[in-house]
Amino acid sequence: MTAIWTKNLSKKYWLYKKETGIKGTLKYLIRGEKVFVEAIRGLDLKVEMGETIGLIGPNGAGKTTTLKILSGILYPTSGEIKVLGFTPHKREKEFLKQITFLSGQRNHLFWDLPAEEYFNFCRVVYQLPEAIFKKNLKKLVQLAEIEEILHIPQRKLSVGQRKRCELVAALLHDPKVIFLDEPTNALDLTNARKIREFIKERAEEGKYTIILTSHNMTDIEQVCKRVVILHMGRLVYDGGLDELNRSNGFKRKIRVSFRDSWNKEWVERLGNVIFIQGQEVLLEVPPENATQIASTLISQFSIQDIRIENPSLEMIIESIYKKEDERVFK
Amino acid sequence: MVYRVNFFMEILSGIFSSLIVIFLWMAVYRYSHREIIGGYSLSEMVTYLLGAGLINSFILTTAENPETSQNIQDGSLSAYLVKPLSPYGLWFARDFGSKSFFFLLGLMGYLIVGIFFKKLLLPFSSGKYLLLFLISLFLAALLQFLLFEVLSLLSFWIENTYGLRFTMRVIMEVAGGAIIPLSFFPGILQETFSLLPFSFMIYFPMKLYLGKIPLDQIASLFIREGFWIAGLGFLNFVVWKKGIRQYVSMGD
């Protein structure tokens, strides 16, 4: 079953530009310069129920705008859109009860009140029966490890603690579709890991459709099987994370340390030598031959250590951004 | 805590300015040697001014409620939009809550002040008028909310609506009859004021309390107020619907 479907989705809006200095301010008072922003340009997207998708792209690519349109916060300028069969911006109750939107940037909880108060607010807003509310709360609180901070006003908590409370609040009504906008943004390693594991657990249950944006590739690698890459409001890649890793002609690197003497010319024939430092050699090889070349090396020479290095996801993605930049600005 | 101090200061400063105006009028009555000025006896005038002060304490203090425009401007509205609740309803409920709170606070303050003017204060003219007075208070609060909320909703298009709301508040204070009864103004101003909705905020309820409106005119005035409320309600609805269409959710 399809959870999310968009066709030729676009979003444009106007902003007023303000120049610096007194002159700019005065000018702005009379008539600011209008700037036209095309946040999304013709996005086609189809997400099945139970899928977990990583939405990535450089700043300003339209990731957050996409999430906001899918969750009904923003009206699209043109195009078609269905989420769980509903049109999001109509904001029907039955739709809103089945989704959630969590932003890593923003505080949703009541600043002066403990998390518990906000959970109760959610119970009323989502009209949750007492028993279900208690059951969900208990499970989520345990998972997010926030038992001890339930009664402390939000402003006295650290960012990481607050984010974990927010995650619990966002999932209390057991939403089917979960939108997460940079959930691990501004978190330390431990808190980021906790949030990630939390999301991963949800994702693996297979009941939930999760769309996640992040600049942290660890989030994407650990949680998502499929990634969608946006660049300046356009979709530039939609597919499996594994294919992304394999494709794009990225060379593998073999780092080898020889124990005894070795034949330089022989090694140079195997691949492109990047550097030689005494007994250590870094060799660049086509991805499809990497394992074969490594085993050849092992059988031919006495070897102390050998390692095949994959390009990092960061590297692959950055090269895609760069390629797109070049294409657009040419 | 800071908030609470702020509340009390608002009410207190309101009471102070009421007192100054009352003392001024007492002096005017004393030195002019007239029983009745502009159709008001001294007792009626003091009652009017204290009542106006009380109404002010919950209508004027909440008039600039910045929450709606803040929610729109900084994008915190988004958090409400993804929940099965109506942001407009939430704003209305919050405003109603703070008005009730300020009403109770003002009532306490003005009851204490009232003790000192016990001899001059008039009771309501009849039970019927008291009921009408209470209804008109409720409608005044509703009218005030709608008038200012529509300005706050303009935040969808303009960056700061504080100036608009401040100006409206000043106009409301004068044209609503908070300073003196509207019948004291020159003819042309009176005519202008009668075309505006502000007189329903203070002047109309206080005249009801004092029984200064003939019973046969009351219905038509309530109907006019009803038209204002319906019209402004519709305007709010239209502006909200149009605004939310082009909401850009700033800040993340």
Within 8 A of A15 by CB-CB distance, chain B residues are: 248
pLDDT of residue A145: 87
- Counting one residue from chain A and one from chain B, the pairs whose CB atoms sit within 8 A come to 51
Beta bridge partners of A277: A280
**Which two tokens mark A292?**
């074969």
Domain A2-246 in CATH 3.40.50.300? The answer is yes
Low-confidence ranges of chain A (pLDDT < 70): 18-19, 24, 27-32, 247-249
CB contact under 8 A, A75 and B246: yes
Of residues A313, A92, A231, A130, the one with CA closest to residue B81: A92
> Domain spans of chain A?
2-246, 252-310
CB contact under 8 A, A75 and B83: no
Q: What is the DSSP annotation of chain B?
A: -HHHHHHHHHHHHHHHHHHHHHHHHHHHHHHHT-SEETTEEHHHHHHHHHHHHHHHHHHTTTTT--HHHHHHHSSTHHHHHTSSS-HHHHHHHHHHHHHHHHHHHHHHHHHHHHHHTTTTPPPPS-HHHHHHHHHHHHHHHHHHHHHHHHHHHGGGTSS--HHHHHHHHHHHHHHTTSSS-GGGS-HHHHHHHHHSSGGGTTHHHHHHHTT-S-HHHHHHHHHHHHHHHHHHHHHHHHHHHHHHHT---TT-
For B141, how many CA atoms within 13 A lie in the half-sphere containing its CB?
Answer: 23
Contact indicator for A122, B95 with CB cutoff of 8 Å: no
Interface of A with B in 60-119 (CB under 8 A): 64, 68, 71-75, 91, 93, 96-97, 99-101, 103, 105-106, 108
Please provide the average confidence, as pLDDT, over all residues in chain A.
Answer: 87
Q: At what angle do helices A159-171 and A189-205 cross, to 10 degrees?
A: 10
pLDDT of residue A314: 80
Of residues A248, A301, A253, A242, the one with CA closest to residue A275: A253
pLDDT of residue B1: 47
Residue among B82, B94, B155, B244 with most chain A CBs within 10 A, to mutate: B82
CB contact under 8 A, B84 and A126: yes
Q: Check whether B147 has a pLDDT greater than 80.
A: yes
Chain A, nearest residue to B83 by Cα = A96
**Share above pLDDT 70 across residues of chain A, in percent, rounded to a whole number:** 96
**Which two tokens mark B241?**
């619907």
Strand order through the sheet with A33-48: A33-48, A2-17, A78-83
A71 to chain B, closest Cα gap in Å: 7
Chain B, nearest residue to A60 by Cα = B252
pLDDT of residue A325: 84
Q: What is the ipTM of this complex?
A: 0.81
**Distance of alpha carbon A52 from alpha carbon A62, whole angstroms:** 19
pLDDT of residue A106: 79
CATH of A252-310, one of 1.20.144, 3.40.50, 3.30.200, 3.30.70: 3.30.70
Across the interface, of B244, B246, B252, the residue whose CB is closest to A105 is B252
Q: Average pLDDT of B72-78? A: 89
Strand A99-103 versus strand A177-181 pairing type: parallel
Across the interface, of B82, B245, B247, the residue whose CB is closest to A71 is B82
CA B53-B54-B59 angle, to 5 degrees, is 90
CA B65-B136-B181 angle, to 5 degrees, is 85
**Which residues of B lie inside 8 Å of A (Cβ-Cβ)?**
75-76, 78-79, 81-85, 159, 244-249, 251-252
Within 8 A of B246 by CB-CB distance, chain A residues are: 13, 75
Q: Which residues contact B188 (CB under 8 A, 6 or more apart)?
A: none
Q: Average pLDDT of B9-33? A: 89
Q: At what angle do helices B87-116 and B2-32 cross, to 10 degrees?
A: 50
How many residues belong to chain B? 252
Full 3-state SS string of chain A: CEEEEEEEEEEEEEEEECCCHHHHHHHHHHHCEEEEEEEEEEEEEEEECCCEEEEECCCCCCHHHHHHHHCCCCCCCEEEEEECCECHHHCCHHHHCCEEEEECCCCCCCCCCEHHHHHHHHHHHCCCCHHHHHHHHHHHHHHHCCHHHCCCEHHHCCHHHHHHHHHHHHHCCCCCEEEEECCCCCCCHHHHHHHHHHHHHHHHHCCCEEEEECCCHHHHHHHCCEEEEEECCEEEEEEEHHHHHHCCCCCEEEEEEECCCCCHHHHHHHCEEEEEECCEEEEEECHHHHHHHHHHHHHHCCEEEEEEECCCHHHHHHHHHHHHHHHHHC
Q: Which residues contact B39 (CB under 8 A, 6 or more apart)?
A: B183, B212
Phi, psi dihedrals of residue B145, rounded to the nearest 5°:
-60, -50
Contact indicator for B206, B116 with CB cutoff of 8 Å: no
For A88, how many CA atoms within 13 A lie in the half-sphere containing its CB?
Answer: 31
Contact indicator for B25, B42 with CB cutoff of 8 Å: yes
Higher pLDDT, B132 or A206: B132
Within 8 A of A72 by CB-CB distance, chain B residues are: 81-82
**Distance of alpha carbon A203 from alpha carbon A201, whole angstroms:** 5
**Distance of alpha carbon B94 from alpha carbon A107, whole angstroms:** 19
Across the interface, of A91, A93, A106, the residue whose CB is closest to B252 is A106
CA separation, residue B157 to residues A15, A204, B69, B210, B237 (Å): 10, 43, 11, 43, 16
pLDDT of residue B68: 92
pLDDT of residue B251: 59
**Which two tokens mark A2?**
């399809």
pLDDT-derived band of residue B12, with 50, 70 and 90 as boundaries?
confident
Residue type, B251: G
**Distance of alpha carbon A3 from alpha carbon A47, whole angstroms:** 6
Please provide the average confidence, as pLDDT, over all residues in chain B.
Answer: 90
Q: Check whether B27 has a pLDDT greater than 80.
A: yes
Interface of A with B in 279-308 (CB under 8 A): none
pLDDT of residue A226: 93
CA A104-A3-A126 angle, to 5 degrees, is 60
Query: Any CB–CB contact under 8 A between A45 and chain B?
Result: no
CA separation, residue A189 to residues A104, A146, A184, A193 (Å): 15, 17, 9, 6
Residue type, B172: M
Q: Check whether B2 has a pLDDT greater than 60.
A: no
